[in-house]
């Protein structure tokens, strides 16, 4: 069986950097466009799934002979945590943060 690389860490780092750079330069590029381009750079075949009135994933991704469906979720930074981070770093202190991303539980 072919080993499937773990792209989630790389995309977690790459996407926010690209979004920040493009916004700083005055470009408006969607997260979907960035993720699609990043996955393609990793050698994946990426197909955008058309929007529908029903819930559908965002992408169909092929890596070799394996197919995945991907639903893109965006998490914006918490302004309070950003202020705490800036305060600590400005004071020359070390700042650490853990963000847990998990699926919402529906009743």
Overall number of domains in the chain:
1
Closest CA to 31 of 49, 58, 61, 52: 58
Backbone torsion region of residue 88, taken as left when φ is above 0, otherwise alpha when ψ lies between -120 and 50, otherwise beta: alpha
- Give the model's pLDDT for residue 1: 44
pLDDT tens, position by position, 73-101: 777 777 888 888 889 889 999 888 777 76
Predicted pLDDT of residue 101: 66
State which residues form the domain around 48: 8-90
| pLDDT at residue number 41 | 84
Q: Is residue 2 part of a domain?
A: no
Q: What is the pLDDT of residue 47?
A: 94
* d(C-alpha 89, C-alpha 18), whole Å: 23
In a domain, 54, yes or no: yes
Other C-beta atoms within 10 Å of 7: how many?
18
Instruction: Identify the segments of the chain with pLDDT beneath 50.
Output: 1-2
Q: Which residues pair with 61 in a beta bridge?
A: 46, 68
Q: Is residue 104 part of a domain?
A: no
At 45 the pLDDT is 93
Does residue 86 fall inside a structural domain? yes
In a domain, 72, yes or no: yes
In a domain, residue 100? The reply is no
Is 101 within the bounds of a domain?
Answer: no
């Amino acid at each position: 069986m072919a080993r499937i690389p773990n792209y989630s860490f790389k995309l977690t780092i790459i996407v926010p950097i690209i979004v920040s750079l493009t916004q700083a330069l005055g470009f408006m590029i969607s997260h979907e466009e960035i993720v699609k381009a990043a996955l393609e750079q990793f050698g994946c075949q990426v197909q955008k799934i058309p929007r529908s009135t029903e819930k559908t994933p965002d992408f169909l991704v092929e890596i070799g002979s394996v197919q995945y469906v991907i639903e893109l979720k965006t998490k914006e930074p918490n302004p309070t945590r950003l202020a705490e981070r800036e305060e600590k770093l400005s004071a020359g202190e070390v700042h650490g943060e853990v963000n847990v991303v998990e699926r919402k539980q529906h009743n």
